[in-house]
Every structure is written in structure tokens, then in C-alpha cells.
Amino acid sequence: MTEPADPPVRRDPLSREKVLLAAVAMADEAKGEVPSTRKLANRLGVRAMALYHHFKNKDELLDGMVDLVFAEVELPTGDLDWQTAMRRRGASMREALKRHPWAVGLMDSRVDPGGATLRHHDTVIGCLLAGGFTIVGAAHAFSMLDSYIYGFAIQENALPISDEGDFEAAAVGMMETVPADEFPHLTAMAAEHALKPGYDYGDEFAIGLDLIIDGLDRHRESWR
Amino acid sequence: MTEPADPPVRRDPLSREKVLLAAVAMADEAKGEVPSTRKLANRLGVRAMALYHHFKNKDELLDGMVDLVFAEVELPTGDLDWQTAMRRRGASMREALKRHPWAVGLMDSRVDPGGATLRHHDTVIGCLLAGGFTIVGAAHAFSMLDSYIYGFAIQENALPISDEGDFEAAAVGMMETVPADEFPHLTAMAAEHALKPGYDYGDEFAIGLDLIIDGLDRHRESWR
DNA sequence: AGTAAAACTGTACGGTGTAAAGTACAATGC
DNA sequence: GCATTGTACTTTACACCGTACAGTTTTACT
């Protein structure tokens, strides 16, 4: 008879989810670098090839990681008007992409979306339709909002690391190498705006998002 | 005395520019994959390490490639109002990113911009300032426009390859795997809009760009 | 002709994703 | 109770990657 107090000798096996969680955590720590199969496996107390028992190949693993990011995004709930809902999910999505900067670089090569991604898209479209958009209008709105959100994330990622006052040092250093006479407007903007003490590029996000939402509201009726 | 009719036996040496042009051409052909140093060198009739005589490391080469893409973008000329200028450069930029899809994925990791990039940014900011934007307003406008353009490029890249009617086949196939009862709005949009014969996602670009430009015009006065 | 710099090569190292085959163990059917 | 099957994982190996380091050649300039 088997001993009930004796669980499987292999203490507990891997699973898609456990692998994905570790992969996301490692990518976050590595400031945007997706871990190699060997490093990921190592963290999980296993050899690299063990991962291939749970994922067909690395691409499938990356798909799963992106889907996990989408799962973190706050979905619109039915009780909000579409403007508020889109503002909230925009902010939430941007925060997720800031927490997981590696995801932005992955988006443009992912082709088959996971369940959380589909759920996200479906809910957003549903929210827009409920808000009075036609299907065509909802497609416009969706495309516009997501383009803005992803693009903003790209630009935020490309900034010199914003951990601390490091940013200012890096930005100043960069600007020193840019001749002011050759690029007058750029240096003016840097000196008079972007390098001013309280400036935070992140604040631009809400401004743009509001402008787009405002524009969508204005054009909503005309999209049939 | 050296013979003037006898040009260098090494027919002609590499140069940054020649390497970059070959690299861009190869990346374009490879549908978005940046070539490895060995493959690139091979195309140039040289061994991999020869590249390191012209570039400190691969990152510097990638920087150069991105700068070449910016060099292809049509710059605003002084004789256009800012709206027209921004529409033109937006379209031009998107086309460049479509020609060179690999550039989009590179953007979020590039940190030091090349000359063409700086020239581009400077000219755009100059155009906005000339159009009546304050520095703060120009910063908002610039951030918004570029976010939208980059983000749109991401989404366009992520589409199943749009070479031909292949697109429809791929999209239909994808939609077959999405249960309609679980994602009703998504499937509705696909069926009634995105999969209709004449639909081209690229057409969304101008709609969003116009909406943003319109919004910028409306808010311009309020940004001091 | 001699020298010094520039352009390029050979070799090597540690890293990558993953194919193929092998091993250890649990569960199952008889 | 024992053979069979399936699951989870390991070992080994391969082709490819970026690049450090130390040559070697080719060119340019006295």
C-alpha cells in the first residue's frame, strides 16, 4: 500500500502558470530583458529542456507572458460611462506596461493572443458599443486608444532610466552632446521645459489620453 | 613612385554608411529580423569582426540603422501650416516604419539618437512653435503625435502578414479559434467590420491622426 | 624603402534556442 | 504483483550568436 503521507517524490511539478510567473518576475528584475531558457529553468530548480514539456517553444512562453500582463489590466465595468472607463483602463494599461517594460517590445511580434488578451479586447469593445459607438466607430476608437497607449509606453521606455535623479543627470549629459546652434528648438525645449526640476514625462500621458477621448466623443456621432 | 592608375588592391574599404545600408536592406528582406554580424559581414564580403572596426558594438550599429530610418522621413518645410506639416510627416513616418518594421522594435531600446533623428525632432518642434504652440504645448503635441505614430506601427506590425489575401485567410483562421459566445463583441467586430472585403487596417491611421491634430488645434491656446 | 596606421582575419569563449534520446517514477490494467 | 504506459525531467549535442584578443595584411606617408 502506498503511504498517504508520502506525496510524490518529485515534490511538485512545474506548470505553465508557475513557469510564466517566474519568467515575468525575472524579466521585471532584469529591467526589460526576457530571461533565457537556462536562467529561467535554473530559477525553477530544473534544467532548460524541462520547459519544453510545458511550452512548445520560447515563442509560446512569450505569448503567455504577454497574456499575463493583459490579465493585470483593469477591465471596464458596466457602471461607468465610456469616457471614464477608457481613462481608467488606459491608466491601468500604461501602469502594467511600466511595471513590465519588456512586454512593449514583445507586442509587435505576438500573433496569437491569449485568453486574458481576448477578454480585454472584448470588454473594451463592448464598453464602447454600450457607450453609443457604432461598430465602425468602436474600431476607430479602439485603434486610436491602443496606438496611443502602446506608443507612449515605447517612448517612456526609451527614456534614460527614470529610477531617480539619475534621469536628470543622464538627460543633461545627453544634451551637452547636442550642439545648441544646430538644434535650437530641441535644446530650447530641453532647457526650458523637459529639464526643469518638477518635470515628469509620465504626466504627458493623461493629457494626451484626455485629448483623444474628447476627440472621440466629438466624432462619435459621425461614424456610421 | 606609386602608380596613379593602380587603385587600392582592396577594391574599396567598408564604411559606416555601406555597412548600415546593407544592414537595413537585409533587415527589410528578412521581414523584420536584424541580421547577425556574421550574415551581415558575409554580404559585405568580409568576416564578422571587420564590422567592429566601424562600430564599437552591435548596439551602435542598431543606433545607426534607426537613424537611417529617421533620415527617410519627410521633414516639415516652413511653407506649410503646422496641421498640414504634421499630417505629412506623420504619413511619411508611418510609411518608413512600414518599410522597416524592425525599426519599431528597436525604438524602445535606443538611447542615443543620431543626427537625422535629432534633426527630425528639432524640425518638428520648430514647426509647432512657428505654428503658435508654446514650448509646453509643443511638448504635448510632439509626445502625442509620436506616441500615436509608434503605437500604430506596433499594431500594424502585429497583424498577420498583410502581403495579400493571406491576411483574410489568417484572420479568418484566427477567428475560428475564438469562441463567439465568450467574446461576442470581438467576433461581431471581426465579422461585421474587420473581415469585410474592402477593409484595410492601414486606413485607420489617417483617421486617428486627423483627430489628434484637430484636438491639438483646439487645445493649443490653453497650453501656456 | 621603411614605418606606422588602418582594415581586416583567425581563433576562441561563453552565451542562446532547441532537437533527440535517455532516465526515473507514478498510475493503470491485468 | 507485475508489465505497460505516460509524465516529468535530464543529458548531450548542434548550430548560431555577440565579441575579446591577438595576429596579418594592405595602404598611406615619409
How high is the mean pLDDT in each 10-residue block of chain B (224 residues)? 40 91 98 96 97 98 98 95 98 98 94 94 98 98 98 94 65 79 95 91 98 98 92
Residue A175 has pLDDT above 80, yes or no: no
Nucleotide with minimal C1' distance from the CA of B50 is C8
**Same-domain pairing of B81 and B178:** yes
**Same-domain pairing of A166 and A204:** yes
**Same-domain pairing of A45 and A100:** no
Report in angstroms the alpha-carbon separations of B216 from A125, A157, B137, B152: 26, 24, 9, 18
**Cβ separation B185–A126 shorter than 8 A:** yes
Task: Report yes or no on B125 lying in a domain.
Answer: yes
**Cβ separation B157–A108 shorter than 8 A:** yes
How large is the average pLDDT for residues A28-44? 96
**Same-domain pairing of B172 and B134:** yes
CA–CA gap between residue B76 and residue B66 (Å, rounded)? 19
Q: What is the DSSP letter of A132?
A: T
**Of the partner residues A158, A186, A207, the one whose CB lies closest to the CB of residue B107:** A158
| Residue A172 distance to chain B (closest CA, Å) | 13
How large is the average pLDDT for residues A145-153? 98
**For residue A81, what is the domain's CATH number?**
1.10.357.10
Task: Report yes or no on A8 lying in a domain.
Answer: yes
Q: Supply the pLDDT for residue B166.
A: 64
Number of domain units in chain A: 2
**Same-domain pairing of A111 and A157:** yes
**Same-domain pairing of A107 and A170:** yes
CA–CA gap between residue A144 and residue A165 (Å, rounded)? 33
Of A158, A186, A17, which is closest to residue A97 (Cα–Cα)? A158
**Same-domain pairing of A51 and A81:** no
**Of the partner residues B109, B119, B148, the one whose CB lies closest to the CB of residue A151:** B148
Task: Report yes or no on A64 lying in a domain.
Answer: no
Residue A7 has pLDDT above 50, yes or no: no
**For residue B4, what is the domain's CATH number?**
1.10.10
Task: Report yes or no on B151 lying in a domain.
Answer: yes
Instruction: Write out the residue range of the structural domain in which residue B4 sits.
Output: 1-55
B48 touches strand D (CB under 7 A): yes
Nucleotide with minimal C1' distance from the CA of A37 is C17
Nucleotide with minimal C1' distance from the CA of B55 is D19
**Same-domain pairing of B44 and B93:** no
Residue A61 has pLDDT above 90, yes or no: yes
* Least confident window among A137-141, A143-147, A177-181, B24-28: A177-181
Of B25, B111, B144, which is closest to residue A214 (Cα–Cα)? B144
**Of the partner residues A153, A188, A211, the one whose CB lies closest to the CB of residue B215:** A211
Task: Report yes or no on A40 lying in a domain.
Answer: yes
**Same-domain pairing of A93 and A161:** yes
**Cβ separation B135–A193 shorter than 8 A:** yes
Q: Supply the pLDDT for residue B134.
A: 98
